């Protein structure tokens, strides 16, 4: 059977930018696992404004599905990473008001599954920081740096060192040196050739002009979202949930031996600290999870994760919605295949570990996770 898979990117992520495919590892892995089960698939990645309103992003995805599944009876599967998971749940929600032509939602009866990875279903404290002036500059720089790291490798020593200085004590939110941050980001973009620089700058400019989703991902706003968005009957909802390990002294020393490692480790530690902030009124977690979910968390971590546990961007307990098909140690980008995995499968692009979290995520865990997702999509037993 043929399946149509659609991928929605999230916070400081993208679909395809300057010929780099952000979802390449996840797409290829899911297609391999589906073929192993006797199924075939075609995939699309939606091109959405990075931090625009969730409703705008959802509308863009709905229109993509409508335009690419004409005259087809193939089951539709939506896969969202980070903010993208909020997008796909909104599209699937019965009665949701999406700002697009009604015909753009005619495919909904064929929707078979909704998969969310590292999604802030209950919000993330990091979103509140990204709505500040300093936070917007940081998000802009992180997106630029993510693209640079994944496509070209480590930045030059001078840029890496300057960014570490600019970030400073980010956990105090207002300790950022914005001027240094802006100048070093500009220097980073100047390292790209003209064609790529123009495309990347246009994408980054969208972050400055529309911050709608950052406001909507704040825990207070997602409290209302959770109360109003409903699961569509007959659709399989599944998720992955992860958190990073606390760095060991040996791992920390190893990372700090290189400028790139120092930069990445500093950024991850700062983001994780911001994400770990807990407001008891809006704890970024459901009041109670079902027994199967809690049992899976206990098997993976040896104890129930606390509300502060996170993947560097989203609290682990905020990532839970639907059937938990995989959980374990991983950071926010590991689950997409952006980890230090050594040699990738034949014909796959190399793995690049941008966030040095110390999670020790690897190819074996990525394979186990993607196999579970593929099986859940088509309703087969996981294992």
Tens digits of residue pLDDT in 268-317: 888 898 899 999 999 999 999 999 999 999 999 999 999 999 999 999 99
Q: What is the pLDDT of residue 173?
A: 43
Give Cα separations from 156 to 160, 186, 192 (angstroms).
6, 13, 13
Structure-model confidence comparison of residues 113 and 51, the more confident one: 113
Give the whole-angstrom CA distance, residue 219 versus residue 196.
Answer: 35
For the chain, the average pLDDT equals: 88
Distance, CA of 139 to chain centre: 14
| Structure token digits, residue 85 | 């998971």
**Separation CA 170–CA 168 (nearest Å):** 6
Residue 79 has a pLDDT of 98
How many Å apart are CA 121 and CA 203, to the nearest integer? 25
Residue-wise pLDDT tens digits, 94-119: 999 999 988 899 999 999 999 999 99
DSSP H/E element including 83:
helix 83-92
The phi-psi region of residue 235 (left if phi > 0; otherwise alpha if psi is between -120 and 50; otherwise beta) is: beta
Query: What share of the chain in percent tops pLDDT 70?
Result: 87
H-only helix segments in 191-248: 194-209, 212-216, 219-228
Q: Which whole number is the average pLDDT over 22-26?
A: 94
DSSP 140-176: HHHHHHHHHHHHH-SPPHHHHHHHHHHHSSGGGSS--
* Per-residue pLDDT, 166: 63
Each residue of 195-237: pLDDT tens digit?
788 888 999 898 888 989 999 999 999 999 999 999 999 999 9
Two tokens at 204?
């980054």
- Say if residue 171's pLDDT is above 70: no
């Amino acid at each position: 059977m043929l399946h149509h898979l659609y991928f929605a990117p999230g916070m400081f992520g993208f679909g395809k930018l300057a010929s780099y495919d952000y979802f390449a590892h996840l797409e290829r892995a899911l297609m391999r696992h589906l073929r192993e089960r006797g199924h075939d698939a075609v995939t699309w990645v939606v091109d959405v404004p990075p931090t625009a309103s969730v409703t705008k992003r959802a509308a863009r995805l709905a229109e993509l599905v409508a335009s690419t599944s004409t005259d087809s009876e193939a089951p539709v599967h939506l896969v969202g990473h980070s903010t993208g998971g909020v997008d796909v749940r909104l599209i699937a929600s019965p009665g949701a008001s999406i700002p697009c032509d009604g015909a753009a939602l005619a495919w909904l009866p064929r929707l078979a599954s909704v998969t969310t990875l590292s999604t802030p279903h209950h919000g993330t404290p990091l979103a509140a920081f990204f709505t500040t002036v300093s936070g917007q500059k940081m998000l802009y720089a992180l997106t630029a740096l993510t693209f640079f790291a994944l496509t070209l490798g480590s930045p030059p020593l001078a840029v890496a060192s300057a960014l570490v200085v600019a970030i400073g004590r980010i956990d105090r939110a207002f300790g950022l040196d914005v001027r240094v941050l802006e100048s070093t980001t500009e220097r980073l973009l100047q390292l790209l050739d003209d064609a790529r620089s123009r495309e990347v700058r246009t994408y980054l400019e969208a972050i400055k002009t529309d911050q709608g989703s950052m406001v909507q991902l704040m825990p207070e706003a997602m409290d209302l979202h959770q109360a109003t968005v409903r699961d569509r009957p007959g659709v399989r909802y599944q998720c992955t949930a992860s958190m990073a390990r606390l760095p060991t002294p040996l791992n920390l020393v190893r990372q700090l031996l290189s400028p790139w490692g120092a930069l990445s480790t500093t950024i991850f530690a700062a983001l994780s600290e911001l994400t770990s902030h807990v407001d008891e009124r809006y704890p970024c977690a459901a009041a109670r999870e079902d027994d199967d979910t809690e049992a899976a968390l206990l098997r993976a971590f040896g104890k129930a994760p606390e509300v502060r546990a996170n993947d560097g961007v989203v609290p682990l307990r905020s990532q839970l919605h639907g059937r938990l098909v995989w959980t374990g140690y991983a950071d926010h980008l590991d689950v997409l295949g952006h980890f230090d995995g050594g040699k990738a499968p034949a014909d796959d692009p190399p793995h690049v570990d941008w966030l040095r979290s110390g999670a020790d995520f690897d190819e074996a865990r990525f394979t186990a996770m993607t196999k579970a997702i593929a099986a859940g999509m088509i309703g087969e037993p996981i294992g």
